[in-house]
């Protein structure tokens, strides 16, 4: 029988991993199945553009995986039973179990509401395509007149606020953050960020914690009500609770605890990549939820799966955190480097060059995911007669 590898999720981490495994492992020995709820690959890092009114290219997963041997299941994951190596999936036709021998868990993350009342009913997250489209429809309803309040001070909040302000200049855009806007940036980068917000005429409410979202307002901890025709919720991310419910060992926020090669510390036949993984990076700190982390953890997880299943040495991939790319509309941006302690360096790339660099990175990421057979080797790795974890580690 073929060794069954099931990949949960087809975001940046899952889609890349599935494609890489398909072009490395021999199809006579391995069967690769990708499970995803949506039929298209979603460029999550561009969803703020979609929400603001820009059209993104459709990338159907069926077309991406055509000819690779990957089996695509467009179903929702409702349960993972790690003891019996089974995943429960559901669609309009019903519920069924899906068995596996090796599982790659890459279900990613969603917007975190932090238990704030009214977020689910009245706010517009931008962490998923359906919610981004819902925000877009609301902005269309407002036309060129209305108030938009973005809640959050992270990269998503900054990018969403500036994108909306640039794409829809008639709207009055504000941002409320519990901290200091761009407080983690170096002096040069923060100065550039604040100038951009001034240029877009975005009102900033710093040290403002939103404790309730209403239909036409967001209410702060001190009772101040900020009138809003569309409250955009961009206050962080949360991982799906399925991992914790499955019995996998997780940390407090639900991320799966893994070893250096992305194997679950409690169930080593489960590998994890992307936002769902809790792993210490090369700087001694947990890797943040990000596209860059998805790339590093995917490369390490696939290397470990190939090594463990074929008896080859498992190479180690760098788990580096070098900085942040921030888009400020289509023609402006910031690339802030950080040091080994994740503190902002004095140097930063700002302006149009930074925007072009980020755009190039996003295009490259989408292209590589959309072409899973690129660089297909002439030799595929066969399954080892004894599939034990390789004790050997070599530098990549």
CA distances from 396 to 92, 299, 317, 376 (A): 44, 10, 6, 19
Q: What is the mean pLDDT of residues 83-100?
A: 96
3-108+240-321 CATH: 3.50.50.60
113-179+193-233 CATH: 3.50.50.60
* Cα angle 25, 29, 34; round to 5: 65
The DSSP bridge pattern shows strands 333-338 and 344-350 to be antiparallel
pLDDT for 213 equals 98
CA atoms of 356 and 325, how far apart (whole Å): 11
3-state secondary structure the chain: CCEEEEEECCCHHHHHHHHHHHHHECCCCEEEEEEECCCECCCHHHHHHHHHCCCCCCCEHHHHCCCCCCEEEECEEEEEECCCCEEEEEECCEEEEEECCEEEECCCEEECCCCCCCHHHHCEECCCHHHHHHHHHHHHHHCCCCEEEEECCCHHHHHHHHHHHHHCCCCEEEEECCCCCCCCCCHHHHHHHHHHHHHCCCEEECCCCEEEEECCEEEECCCCEEECCEEEECCCEEECCHHHHHCCCECCCCCEEECCCCEECCCCCEEECHHHEECECCCCCECCCCHHHHHHHHHHHHHHHHHHHHCCCEEECCCCCCEEEEECCCCCEEEEEECCCCCEEEEEEECHHHHHHHHHHHHHHHHHHHCCCCCCCCCCECCCCCCCCCCCEEEC
pLDDT for 271 equals 98
Please answer whether residues 305 and 21 qualify as being in contact, where contact means their C-beta atoms are separated by less than 8 angstroms: yes
Q: What is the pLDDT of residues 111-134, one digit of tens each?
A: 999 999 999 999 999 999 999 999
Q: Which candidate, 346, 328, 326, 330, places its Cα nearest to that of 338?
A: 346
CA atoms of 198 and 203, how far apart (whole Å): 8
The DSSP bridge pattern shows strands 323-327 and 256-257 to be unpaired
Question: Which residues is 176 bridged to in the sheet?
Answer: 151, 205
Q: Which candidate, 103, 160, 101, 85, places its Cα nearest to that of 301?
A: 103
What number of other Cβ atoms are within 10 A of residue 360's Cβ? Answer: 10
CA atoms of 341 and 281, how far apart (whole Å): 11
Which two tokens mark 317?
């991939």
Domain positions in the chain are: 3-108+240-321, 113-179+193-233
Q: What is the mean pLDDT of residues 155-162?
A: 97
CA atoms of 297 and 173, how far apart (whole Å): 36
Q: What is the mean pLDDT of residues 221-242?
A: 95
pLDDT for 338 equals 87
pLDDT for 386 equals 43
Q: What is the pLDDT of residues 26-58, one digit of tens each?
A: 999 999 999 999 999 999 999 999 999 999 999
pLDDT for 379 equals 58
* Fold agreement between 3-108+240-321 and 113-179+193-233: yes
Q: Which candidate, 329, 326, 356, places its Cα nearest to that of 338?
A: 326
Please answer whether residues 4 and 100 qualify as being in contact, where contact means their C-beta atoms are separated by less than 8 angstroms: yes
What number of other Cβ atoms are within 10 A of residue 331's Cβ? Answer: 11
Would you place residue 242 in the very low, low, confident or very high pLDDT band (cuts 50, 70, 90)? very high
Q: What is the pLDDT of residues 357-387, one digit of tens each?
A: 999 999 998 888 888 766 555 558 899 854 4
CA atoms of 66 and 69, how far apart (whole Å): 7
pLDDT for 368 equals 86
CA 340 to chain centre: 23
Question: Which residues is 89 bridged to in the sheet?
Answer: 77, 96
CA distances from 91 to 96, 97, 110, 208 (A): 9, 12, 20, 42
Q: What is the pLDDT of residues 277-331, one digit of tens each?
A: 999 998 888 998 888 888 899 999 999 999 999 999 998 999 988 888 999 999 9
């Amino acid at each position: 029988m073929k060794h069954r590898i099931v990949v949960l999720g087809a975001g940046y981490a899952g889609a890349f991993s599935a494609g890489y495994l398909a072009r490395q492992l021999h199809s006579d020995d391995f069967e690769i199945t990708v499970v995803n709820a949506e039929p298209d690959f979603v460029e999550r890092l561009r969803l703020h553009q979609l929400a603001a009114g820009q059209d993104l290219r459709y990338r159907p997963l069926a077309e991406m995986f055509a000819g690779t041997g990957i089996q695509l299941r467009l179903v929702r994951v409702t349960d993972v039973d790690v003891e019996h190596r089974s995943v429960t999936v559901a669609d309009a036709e019903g519920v069924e179990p899906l068995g596996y021998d090796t599982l790659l868990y890459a279900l990613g993350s969603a917007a975190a509401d932090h238990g704030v009342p009214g977020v689910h009913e009245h706010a517009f997250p931008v962490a998923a395509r359906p919610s981004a489209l819902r925000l877009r429809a609301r902005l269309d309803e407002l036309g060129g007149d209305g108030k938009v309040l973005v809640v959050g001070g992270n990269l998503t909040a900054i990018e969403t606020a500036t994108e909306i302000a640039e794409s829809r200049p008639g709207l009055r855009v504000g941002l409320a953050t519990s901290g200091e806007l761009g407080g983690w940036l170096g002096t040069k980068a923060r100065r550039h960020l604040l100038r951009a917000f001034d240029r877009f005429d975005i009102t900033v409410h710093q040290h403002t914690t939103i404790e309730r979202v209403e239909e036409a307002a967001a209410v702060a901890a001190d009772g101040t009500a900020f009138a809003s025709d569309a409250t955009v919720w961009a206050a962080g991310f949360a991982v799906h609770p399925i991992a914790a419910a499955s019995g996998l060992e997780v940390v407090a926020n639900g991320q799966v605890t893994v070893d250096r090669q992305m194997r679950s510390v409690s169930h080593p036949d489960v590998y994890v990549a992307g936002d769902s993984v809790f792993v210490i990076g090369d700087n001694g700190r947990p890797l943040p939820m990000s596209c860059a982390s998805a790339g590093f953890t995917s490369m390490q997880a696939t290397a470990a799966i190939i090594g463990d299943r074929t008896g080859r040495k498992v190479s180690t991939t760098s788990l580096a955190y070098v900085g942040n790319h921030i888009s400020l509309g289509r023609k402006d941006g910031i690339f802030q480097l950080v040091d080994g302690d994740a503190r902002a360096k004095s140097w930063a790339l700002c302006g149009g060059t930074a925007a072009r660099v980020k755009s190039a990175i996003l295009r490259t990421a989408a292209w590589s995911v959309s072409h899973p057979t690129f660089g297909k080797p002439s030799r595929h790795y066969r399954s080892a007669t004894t599939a034990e974890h390789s004790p050997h580690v070599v530098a990549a």
